[in-house]
Structures are given as structure tokens and as C-alpha cells.
């Protein structure tokens, strides 16, 4: 059985009394390629900020390789505001992020 690289359990986040995330749980294993999609205001950016460690979650836990901590230095994120050339291949984009993460 493969140990999860990122494990999110019962994650919750509230801002100024408004629930943004509620009881979010999932695992990402080594080699997984994950896309987080959904409508505006669904909490995608807040979820990523909690995983990266930019925002503190209100409840639950985020484990990176089995330990509590920030994923900011261990994963690459391509945010929706970024624009990439149409001619860029997925493999080239991945290679680019690998070079800047080392």
C-alpha cells in the first residue's frame, strides 16, 4: 500500500464567521497529477492556501508525507491567473516547474 504524499482529513476553514471549507478529506499519492476545478467561490484557492500553509485551517489536518507541515516547498501549483503559451506542451510545463522547484 502506498503512503499518501498529501493527506487532508476533515479540513475546515471559516473566515469572519463564514464557512469556506467544511469536512474536506482526500489523499494524493506519489505520481498523482491532480486538477482542482470548480466554480468561482467554491473554495479552491482557500483549500490550496491551507495545503500550502499560507492560511491556517480552522479544523482538521493536513499531512505532508505523514507529518504536519507546509507543502509550499514540495509541490508546484499553476494558478488560474497564470497564462501559458498555447504552444507549450504539458511535459514542457512540468519540466519547467521541476527546474524552478529544485
User: Taking the mean position of all CA atoms in its chain, how far away is CA 24?
Assistant: 12
- Neighbouring CB atoms inside 10 A of 98's CB total 10
C-alpha cell at 17: 464567521
102 has a pLDDT exceeding 60 = no
Indicate the pTM of the whole model: 0.71
For the chain, domain boundaries: 4-101
Condensed to tens digits (0 to 9), the pLDDT of residues 18-74 reads: 999 999 999 999 888 888 888 888 999 899 999 988 899 999 999 998 888 777 777
28, β-bridge pairs: 6
Average pLDDT, stretch 11-17?
Answer: 94
Instruction: Kindly report the CATH number that applies to the domain delimited by 4-101.
Output: 3.40.50.300
- CA separation for the pair 21, 44 (Å, rounded): 9
Max CA separation in the chain (angstroms): 44
**How far, in Å, CA of 37 to CA of 43, rounded?**
10
pLDDT at 74: 74
Amino acid at each position: 500500500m502506498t503512503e499518501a504524499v498529501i493527506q487532508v482529513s476533515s479540513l475546515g476553514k471559516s473566515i469572519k464567521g463564514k464557512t469556506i471549507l467544511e469536512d474536506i478529506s482526500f489523499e494524493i499519492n506519489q505520481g498523482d497529477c491532480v486538477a482542482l476545478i470548480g466554480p468561482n467561490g467554491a473554495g479552491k484557492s482557500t483549500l490550496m492556501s491551507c495545503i500550502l500553509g499560507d492560511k491556517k485551517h480552522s479544523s482538521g489536518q493536513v499531512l505532508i508525507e505523514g507529518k504536519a507541515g507546509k507543502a509550499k516547498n514540495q509541490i508546484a501549483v499553476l494558478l488560474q491567473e497564470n497564462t501559458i503559451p498555447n504552444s507549450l506542451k504539458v511535459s514542457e510545463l512540468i519540466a519547467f516547474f521541476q527546474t524552478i522547484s529544485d
